[in-house]
Structure 1
């Protein structure tokens, strides 16, 4: 297929930019309580979710169905999940303070990491896959070897006095040299992974409990959720660069690995997309009918899907090009700059849609 034909086939499938409110691709129903965390597997087809009901479930994004039976253990409520960099292992933070290791087929390893005195609220793998950082309500950040749970000397046990209690969120930088943490006392800290030294912060007065932190792809920025704003910080200086304002308190932020897109979800059950370069909103607001609290959100690795979960006990799966068709127009225009002969065959929606003219205007 020629590049021009490929472009036209994509645009023919896309909704017009003046479309009515979108509907999700699937709703994965099966949990019996709130969902705090989930991960997209590397195949871009499956999701594994964890819930307060103590179960993990594997879902098929193509069919919308549960794969096999739920995965269960004796550790209690699941507050955090994280997928290893090689995509083979899912770490699971439990209410009893343990961190379990599961493969993607639902088999739990005998190696269970311990060290916390109460529930594990945050998990992050080092980019090398050699270590796991865990944060807990006990105010401690542990860095342990993924294989045997051995705590690393010097920096392995970080009792963060400046956190004053519960560690709410954690994230390794993409280079693995730093760890960002958010705390119950409304602060963010950036730590040196090798020494445990505080590099940036505490960044204070963030308006609410820190619920989510995520690094930009080049590690130069840190995005956070704490109140009605998704804040963007310079990760070296800690200075605030920009704020994205949401309708209500934000519980989770996520960055697309393939697009310049920030996603926010929160207290009112509404999700919003933003262009991280222009700072303009993308697509329409989208939400659950019950408008219950949304606690977690993530993009698939290929950037095709976006999903969220929370107090409505489901995982809801959206197709990104459906909720943000501007991204297709943007991709079209980039290719069009190279493929000049195809400029004569603009898709009708680009000629006639007022919304699309607005998006394409300088």
Structure 2
């Protein structure tokens, strides 16, 4: 993780969208992660994980599919084989029992964020982080032709038209482009969708229009010629997934505002709001008979909704990490979900519809048909071995952009281009140099004060030694003074041999020596100037006899 988005030590991370609901993520002053679980009222070095309630439904099959998050899934054929696209840059094929089919398809475009299968189930097109699309032959497992180039940023969504004559793709560059799958060339000018990042794109079953959604919270309905027919507003955050009813009369949308909404496609009227998920909903699909709607969310769950009662049926299908993709099998028997930790879970749809924990059954029986779902929070019952468990020195894996209106879809963008650190693996965080005992205020300084005793030799004054020029000037002045004294000696009443007082010549910071009339050495005087004042003193010298 780069230094610009690394959380500072000693803080709580406000973006907890990737944690179990009811938990907080903190960074200790020493840079180590720890977690506060308000569900169990515990604090632990380990990331809390969901503990399945007793009697909860478990998957029929769990596949350790990829080393990184699974972005997209598809299920096709009478055998109901599964295609998975991942952030590790590969596409893999599996049987419903979890057996691998063939070798992984490696893409040189980085993270593979979306896949879509042709109507005859012979080809699959994928979109990658490098902004290019690639066409694969499913039987051969190889790329057909050159990559399709045009987008200036990651391709986040794509779909085949019902007549298989074109492929539409949406990108983080804000455009929607349509391609001829036979040539890999664009068949029309790009559409400036106005979404910002385009997250969802879906053709109507009749093929006469398609819908798009993205960062701007708006759903746009376009004609097959790329003309804007309608804008549908209602979500409070970005639109992440779309699907149509078979007759084309209804549009279902999932959003980062934690809701699913049902719209009338002819005029954009909102019909139903499905509430229950505790975090962003990132994938949506209909069962083959259109009796149920299935949604995958960052709250670690997949939920099933009855479209007759507009209520959730059964219990949430709980995962060990965020569920980022979901599809139903063509035969309507299975739900396939992909998670942030790279696993694929296969669930029995029939068992999920019949299954219900006793404490949920009472709530469902009391619900009115026209009431919105009263979702029960997914709670953690396991916070690790203990607070002092020392196996989770971890590095934070996300820092939300401060300008973001939703941390959830920017977390999605971060995963698309970044390597996700493993929260369960010890990772050291480099710390800055500690500055101790530093205080700008009085009383808190660590610098000692030293008292210096006064000098004991009071009759000595220490000055800097004079320069050669100063000595020369002093000697010249002394000679002139001596000559003047000798000229006035005849008229003087001073006895011979007695030194005569001579005016002191002002020399800054230098000694002056005067010579008496008898040739002996006179007094040496010092004069110091400080702050506009003159200080002088004299020291008698011995006279020659």
Regarding TM over 0.5, the answer is yes
1:307 aligns with 2:332: no
Correspondence for 1:22 among 57, 61, 69:
57
Q: Find the counterpart in structure 1 of residue 114 from structure 2.
A: 80
Which residue of structure 1 lines up, in the alignment, with residue 505 of structure 2? Answer: none
Q: Is the 1:55–1:70 Cα contact (8 Å) retained in structure 2?
A: yes
Does 2:232 align with 1:232? Answer: no
Is 1:57 the counterpart of 2:92? The answer is: yes
Match in the other structure for 1:330:
none
- 2: CA distance between counterparts of 1:253 and 1:123? 14
What is the distance in 1 between the residues matched to 2:239 and 2:311? 24
Q: How does 1:114-129 map to 2 (within 5 A)?
A: 114-129=149-164
Which structure 2 segments of 5+ residues have no match? 1-53, 356-360, 370-545
For the Cα contact (< 8 Å) 1:37–1:49, is it kept in 2? yes
Matching of residue 184 in structure 1 with residue 215 in structure 2 = yes
Task: Please tell me whether residue 36 in structure 1 is matched to residue 71 in structure 2.
Answer: yes
Q: Supply the distance in 1 between the matched residues of 2:305 and 2:99 (Cα, whole angstroms).
A: 30
**What's the counterpart of residue 297 of structure 1?**
326
Q: How many residues align?
A: 304
Q: CA deviation at 1:204?
A: 2.7
Q: Tell me if structure 2 keeps the 8 A contact 1:111–1:148.
A: no
**Deviation of the 1:251 alpha carbon:** 1.2
Aligned with 2:241 (options 191, 212, 220) = 212
**1:247, CA displacement in angstroms?**
2.5
Q: Which runs of 4+ in 1 moved over 3 A?
A: none
1:109 counterpart (133, 144, 147) = 144
Q: 1:119 and 1:247 mapped to 2: Cα distance? A: 28
Q: Which residue of 1 aligns with 2:190?
A: 157
Q: Which residue of 2 is the match for residue 47 of structure 1?
A: 82
- DSSP 3-state at the match of 1:324: helix
**Cα pair 2:217 2:236 within 8 Å, conserved:** yes
Aligned to 1:198: 228
Q: Deviations over 1:115-168 (max 9, x none)?
A: 101110000000011100000000110011111022223xx42122x32x2111
Question: 1:205 deviation in Å?
Answer: 4.4
In the superposition, the TM-score normalised over structure 2's length comes to 0.54
Report the Cα offset of residue 75 of structure 1.
1.2
Q: Distance in 2 between matches of 1:76 and 1:295?
A: 18
Q: CA deviation at 1:69?
A: 2.2
For residues 188-233 of structure 1, what are the alpha-carbon distances to aligned partners after superposition, in whole Å with 9 as ceiling and x for unaligned? 1000012x111110x2341111100110111101001112211001
Give, in angstroms, the shift of residue 259 of structure 1.
Answer: 4.2
Q: Distance in 2 between matches of 1:304 and 1:118?
A: 37
Backbone CA RMSD of aligned residues: 1.9
**1: distance between equivalents of 2:263 and 2:289?**
21
Query: Please, which runs of 5 or more residues in structure 1 have no aligned partner?
Result: 1-18, 327-353
Instruction: Select the structure of larger CA radius of gyration.
Output: 2
Give the CA deviation at 1:257.
1.2
The aligned counterpart of 1:269 is: 300
Q: Output aligned runs, 1:236-255, within 5 Å.
A: 236-248=266-278, 249-255=280-286
More helix per residue: 1 or 2? 1
